[in-house]
Amino acid sequence: MARARLHDGSRIEFEVSGTGPAVLLPVDPRPAEEEKADELRTWGVDPALGRSLVDGLTGAFRVVAFDYEGHVMAHPKPDTLTPKAVAADILAVADAAGADRFAYYGYSWLALSGLQLALRTDRLTALAMGGFPPLDGPYAEMLRVTTATHAMTTGEAATAAGGDDRPTDVPEAEPGAEWGESADSGEFDWDSVDVTMSASQTRQFVTLYEALASFDDRAAQQEVGCPRLCFAGTADTIRYGPRWGDVVVDIAGILTATRPELRSLGWEVHLLDGLDHTAAMQPDQVLPILRPWLEANATV
């Protein structure tokens, strides 16, 4: 695979497939194998999620795939993972891939990263956001969640979250869903979670959401001129337990409430009936929305 140099000097691999208008996908194009694949299936995640998205778009587009979430977990950026740095990293991948103009699709925190990218470049031909609302985004809620999670990884009592620090067992993180957002929000027992990530891994997301604490996503709408798509499942409401301060991240509720305004601002909005955060990110749900929209809106 080719590589791009990121803001902290680390290098990230990327894969280029197909021909046509360029589309950047922050996904891992390599399917998970063996135990990791079994773990992902347990969480309802397609082990070949990234590969399936790439293959589903390659027939019509030049797809640039790069596992940004996997990279920041392997090479944490505790003090520098700011919106500006993330946007610079995405542009670095585009540069290395020779994509002067490109569309972008991201899910969850990689979706909000796409919005930050759109505010910092005129190279974007189309922006697609899944699993995170472009208006009234839950930035404050995610700052509380990530701060509490970081406190657990540093051995501090999660006093900010108002709970204890009992360890049990949980996967570190799933694609597109920091802190286990991929769990079924209606059934998952957050009191049973043991955060197994390192302090550096969790701190970088505190840095990201601290930088977004004063972000005005309503004012930002006037600065995004490219075609825009957003979607989420109607059951995408994540209720964290007492150790996280009983924070509720209501993606579905926010997108439902802001849908009329988003449409008036030029967004195409989809609410996927009955799907939670995990189900709405699977390729069989994403591709029927994303591919025809990109075919109609992404340009060379």
Give a yes or no: residue 21 inside a domain: yes
Give a yes or no: residue 291 inside a domain: yes
Which distant-in-sequence residues (6+ apart) come within 8 Å of 63 by Cβ?
16, 17, 18, 22, 23, 25, 54, 57
Give a yes or no: residue 203 inside a domain: no
Q: Residue written as tokens 């695979």? A: 1
Give a yes or no: residue 194 inside a domain: no
DSSP 173: -
Q: 39-71 in b/e burial notation, b at 16+ Cβ within 10 A?
A: ebeebbbbbbbbbbbbbbbbebbbbbbbbbbbb
Give a yes or no: residue 7 inside a domain: yes
6 — phi, psi (to 5°)? -95, 180
Long-range contacts of 262-269 (CB under 8 A, 24+ apart): 262/134, 262/135, 262/230, 265/221, 266/227, 266/228, 267/134, 267/228, 267/229, 267/230, 268/227, 268/228, 268/229, 268/230, 268/293, 269/229, 269/230, 269/231
DSSP 32: P
- Tell me, what's the pLDDT at 183? 42
**Would you say the C-alpha torsion 64, 68, 74, 77 has a positive or negative sign?**
positive
Domain count for the chain: 1
Give a yes or no: residue 132 inside a domain: yes
CATH label of the domain that carries residue 112: 3.40.50.1820
Give a yes or no: residue 172 inside a domain: no
Give a yes or no: residue 100 inside a domain: yes
Closest by Cα among 153, 169, 168, 251 to 206: 153
Is residue 182 within 8 A of residue 43, CB to CB? The reply is: yes
Give the sheet arrangement for strand 267-272, strand by strand. Answer: 2-5, 11-17, 62-65, 22-25, 102-107, 124-130, 228-233, 267-272
Residue 231 sits in which domain range?
Answer: 2-137+216-238+250-297
| H/E stretch holding 270 | strand 267-272
Question: How is residue 234 written in tokens?
Answer: 């109607």
| H/E stretch holding 84 | helix 83-96
116 to 156, 214, 215: CA distances (angstroms): 32, 13, 10
- Distance separating alpha carbons of residues 231 and 259, to the nearest angstrom: 10
pLDDT along the chain (300 residues), means of 10: 96 98 97 79 84 96 98 97 98 98 98 98 98 98 96 66 32 38 45 72 98 97 97 97 94 98 98 97 97 93
- Tell me, what's the pLDDT at 42? 78
- Tell me, what's the pLDDT at 189? 52
